[in-house]
Amino acid sequence: MPTGAEGGEGVRSVVRALELLALFDGTHRSRSVRELTDATGLPKSTVVRLVTTLEQNGLLWTSTNGRLTPGAGLLRWAQLAHDAWQLPPEAVECLRALSSESGGESSRIYVRQGLSRLCVAQHEGTQQLRHVVRIGEAMPLWAGASGHVLLAGCSAKELHRAAMAAARGPEFESALAERVDRAAAQDWAVSHGEREHGVSAVAAPITDPDGRIVAAVGLGGPTSRFTAENVAAFLPALSRAATRLSELRFIGGGS
């Protein structure tokens, strides 16, 4: 894709700018240039240049105490995201019901984005020990039940690229292919501690009217509660949720 030196440099700057923005989250609501430099390992001059550009475009903001915070220009993106990804009430209810029927695990919907999966909706579990992910954050496709379900809808080439992204050596690709094949055959997947130690998940595909996999719906929680017995008990509710969410046809349309 980079089309020579100029294209490569431009793309790299865009990626770096987004990486800088990604360093702001609920626990890091403000940052200094020094912190951004330390966190990225980029030269200070590069960070200053990107921060200035992001500031001029409203994505960062210098607060009165001199620290950088998310800028008001992000509000425009928030509106876009809301318009494009807001779940219809029936789908929200579906996630709530799935969480409730699992005894209070967190339920969520993931979509594939390149070699990543992104959580686009979540109903937080009611258990004191619950698993919460960040909405819109990229997670690897090669790890976790919902990743395997999403890969079941991918080409062999995409599966290869997802396996390569894991950087776990050549055996990993066949192991991953086996997991994905099983997910495709049984229409669900389960995973234990693949992305995060102690966290388990089950997931099932959401499909479009042509049967293509457009998203995954799943439950996540501590591995201690995802015993074989409990997972088997989760499956009927998971399957019902996947069928209902497929019927609602709210993902991937674009008007």
How far apart CA 200 and CA 194 sit, in angstroms, is 8
Does residue 107 bind a second copy (CB under 8 A)? no
Nearest C-alpha neighbor of 119 from the set 168, 81, 71: 81
Residues of this chain, 17-36, that bind a second copy according to CB under 8 A: 17-18, 21-22, 24-26, 29-30
Does residue 57 bind a second copy (CB under 8 A)? yes
Report the Cα–Cα distance between both ends of the chain, in Å, rounded: 28
Query: How many helical (H) and strand (E) elements, i.e. helices and strands, does the chain have?
Result: 9, 8
Residues of this chain, 234-253, that bind a second copy according to CB under 8 A: 252-253
What DSSP designation does 191 have? Answer: E
| CB of residue 86 to a second copy, shortest distance in Å | 10
From 34, 38, 44, 56, residue interacting with a second copy (rule: CB under 8 A): 56
Distances in Å between the Cα of 206 and the Cα atoms of 82, 87, 150 are 21, 14, 9
Stretch that binds a second copy, among 91-99, 128-136, 172-180, 226-234 (CB under 8 A): 128-136
Does residue 139 bind a second copy (CB under 8 A)? no
How far apart CA 245 and CA 193 sit, in angstroms, is 26
Report the residue number, 30 or 223, with the smaller CB distance to a second copy.
30
Contact code string over 58-97 relative to a second copy, x by CB under 8 A: xx-x-xxx-xxxxxxxxxxxxxxxxxxx------------
Does residue 147 bind a second copy (CB under 8 A)? no
Residues of this chain, 177-216, that bind a second copy according to CB under 8 A: 208, 212, 214
Does residue 45 bind a second copy (CB under 8 A)? yes
Distances in Å between the Cα of 131 and the Cα atoms of 127, 182, 207, 242, 246 are 9, 25, 25, 20, 24
Stretch that binds a second copy, among 97-105, 112-120, 168-176, 239-247 (CB under 8 A): 112-120
The DSSP line for 3-52 is -SHHHHHHHHHHHHHHHHHHT-BTTBS-B-HHHHHHHH---HHHHHHHHH
Does residue 12 bind a second copy (CB under 8 A)? yes
